[in-house]
Structure formats: C-alpha cells, structure tokens
Chain A
Amino acid sequence: MISLNYRDARPIYEQVRDGLRHLVVTGAIAVGEKLPSVRAMAASLAINPNTIQRAYAALEEEGYVSTTPGKGAFVVRDSGGETPRRGELLRQFDALSTELLFLGMTAQELAQRVNRAEENREGGAE
C-alpha cells in the first residue's frame, strides 16, 4: 500500500504519514473509510507499531483522520478550520504560483487547473 525508501532523508514516520496522506488526498482511501489498523501496518511494513501510531497522530493533528479509541482511525473531510498544515500548503502554493506567473502563465490558466483538480476529486469520490 505504501512503501518505504531507505535512501530517503525523511524519518520513517514521516514517510508513513506522507504515504497515507497521499492515499487519502487522492481518494484511494475515501472519506469515512477506515485506515488499516496499527497492527496490520506494523506487520506489513515490519516496523515499530509506535512509529505507525506517531504517523496516525500526526495525520489526526493535520485534520485528515479522526481516531475513535477501540475502533480505529477514519478518514474525515476537514471542516475548514485553520490548521498548520493548511498554512504551510498555502505558503507553498503562493510560492509556486508566483514562480508560474513569472514563467508566463496567466492567473486564468492557473484557475482552470484548480477547477480541473476539483472536478477530478469529485469524479473520484463517486
């Protein structure tokens, strides 16, 4: 489901977190669906359960999942609150769009891309 790369400079828990986040964002694990249990993930990746736990806690803090004790972690759609992750992404977005505008793209073209991304997301959610 996700794979670890030992030449990657990121710590393992960040790789697990980023891998799972990617699955959530692309809709591979849909809203309302349950993430694999800590035990199943630890066994399939052969890594420490605490590392998985830490990745899940980070995802919860970022607003992608919600954990119910005894039941597991479920994907939630963020209600739109201000999270550090969102701030970080917006900063990256600003930096990227500034660079793209410098490279001659127009604001309209960028807006079209955002619209297309939204259509794809909705298409994937069905």
Chain B
Amino acid sequence: MIEVQNVVKSFDGFCALDGLTMTVPDGAIYGLVGPNGAGKSTILRHITGVYQQDSGLVLVDGQPVYENPAVKEKMVDIPDELYYFGSASTRDMARFYRGFYPRFDQKRYEALKEVFRSVDETRPIRRLSKGMQKQTAFWLALCARPEVLVLDEPVDGLDPVMRRQVWSLLMSDVAQDGTTVLVSSHNLRELEDVCDHVGILSRGKVLIERSLSDLQENLVKMQVVFQEKKLPVLPDDMEVLNVSQVGRIHTLIVRGKADEVTNRLAAYAPILMDALPLTLEEIFIYELGGEDYAVRDVIL
C-alpha cells in the first residue's frame, strides 16, 4: 500500500505540492490524472524516493521511502524521461538490475526477448529510438517482478501494438501477483480500461480520489426532451454540473445514480429521456470545470 499524507514540496518558492494526501491500496491499478503542472510527476518522484518532501509522509507498506533500499527493492519506476548509463546496452542494464532487485527473473528476461524482439539487446540503449527505449524500460521492469510499479506517462512513444502488448503483460502480472500499479497519463481512454482507482490532481492537491466504478456511477449524462422547448426549473438540491441544448434536446450532467436521477426527472413528464454513462474524459472535464479550469473559446 502506498500512503501519501499531507506532503508539501516547494521549488524556489514555488509550491508544487500543497498538502497532497492519497492512498493506493494493495493490488490496485491507480490512475493519476490532472492538468499540466498539477504535480503528477512531482508526487511520483516522491513516491519513488527521488525527491524528499518538505513536510508530510510518504510511506510504502508503512515504511518511509526516501533513502530506504529495503522498500526500493520492491519498487520499479519508469520515469517520463528515461536515463541509462552512457554505453549500457539492455543486456548490461539487466545485469545491473539483477544486482539490486532480489526477485529479478532471468528466465523471464529470455522469454520476453520474443516480445521485444525489435530491440537489439546488445546496442547501447541511448542509441535506440524513443519508442525502443520505452520497450527496454518495460522489459527490465517486468523482469524485476516488483510489488509496486510506478509509471509516469508509460506508453508515450509506443506504437499501438506495443501499447496493447505492454498493458496485456502488466494486466497478467496484476491478476497473478497482485502487483500494485500507480500510473499517470493523459490518455484517459486507455486509463479507463486498466485502472480501478482514479485520483484527480489539481494545483498540488488531490481533488477527488475514488474507485473508477464509484466515479462513473455517481455522475450521469441525461439527454432529455421536454414538452416545452425550455428547460423546466429543476429542484435546488439536484446538482447539475452542466447544461447544454441542441434543438429540443437538453443534455444535463447530474451528480447522482442513473436510476435516481431518471426517477426525479420523470416527474417533469419528458417526451424522451436517456441516461448515459460518462467517459473518464468527460468526468475529468466536468469535475475540474468548477475549479476554474475549462476549455476557453479563444479566437486568434
């Protein structure tokens, strides 16, 4: 389990993390999303023990991470910018990993050669293309058999086939070993498939942290056509996040369960009514909408 409690971090007076608290349960696949500059990479670097917080706690399995090799040998990180030694090849790095990951699985390394066969394991990693370097990172990460896997924009640079391949391997490990995965990404479509927990970050804080099914079941998109062209006055306690109208069709984003909202709207005798689930992308946009963060209409 990863516990982050009230972490504050400033860089030269700029407050990057402002009392961030989050919890990643064991065996969860936790998706970290948020606008650019919200602090996603910063908190990931705390969780992997690269940065030291100004105040607060960062615990993995109850232990502080910073400068703690006993915790770090259970974790693998794939950062957004990969770094490898000057002329180290994939094979050299595997030897290096074997040195400090006690569960490093050489048999797996050989087996995965088939999957990552386009990567030349004897070539210096730095001379490989960006996508190939990412493949190498996953190859090594999977061999280390970590209990906790931290991924920052992991599939950035991978082609569609490789993306699916990598997710498939990760899902298989999660199902078998209960690996905990913490992943940041802007590809919400992809996160929706793989995550079961989601944390939305904004300005160095966690705005919402919930299981994905909870998040999706508590916000609903209603498409309604009423007798009148105008939208009737809805009760005050009905939390409507967004209203738009095309022709006679009103689209409402309402907080609540689909059947409850449907029942309440039925009182207005609509001609037509449909409850649609929201995608993670829509949830992201509407939940952050109240935070003074939205797409602006700018004419250039």
Contacts and interface: CB of A to CB of B under 8 A. Distances in A.
A and B pair up: yes
Chain B CB within 10 A, most for which of A37, A46, A52 = A46
B171 A47 contact: yes
A122 to B, nearest CB: 36
A48 B196 contact: yes
Contacts of A49: 171, 174-175
A43 B193 contact: no
Contacts of B171: 42-43, 46-49
Contact of A42 (B164, B172, B192, B277): B172
Interface stretch (A4-12, A88-96, A101-109, A110-118): A4-12
Contacts of A44: 168
B97 interface: no
B277 A48 contact: no
Q: B interface, how many residues as a size bin?
A: 20 to 34
Contacts, number: 50
Q: How large is the interface on A (under 10, 10 to 19, 20 to 34, 35 or more residues)?
A: 20 to 34
Is the contact region of chain A dominated by helix, strand, or loop, or is it mixed?
Answer: helix
B189 A39 contact: no
B29 interface: yes
B196 A42 contact: no
Given A39-B172, A39-B175, A46 B277 contact: no
A116 to B, nearest CB: 34
B172 A51 contact: no
Kindly list the 6 A-B residue pairs having the minimum CB-CB distance in the complex, ordered from nearest: A39-B175, A49-B175, A43-B172, A46-B167, A42-B171, A46-B168
Interface of B: 29, 164, 167-169, 171-172, 174-176, 189, 192-196, 213, 216, 276-277
Given A12-B192, A43-B169, 13 more contacts: A9-B276, A9-B277, A37-B175, A42-B174, A43-B172, A44-B168, A46-B193, A48-B29, A48-B194, A48-B196, A49-B175, A50-B196, A52-B175
5 contacts: A9-B276, A39-B172, A46-B171, A48-B171, A48-B193
Interface of A: 4, 6, 9-13, 37-39, 42-44, 46-52, 54
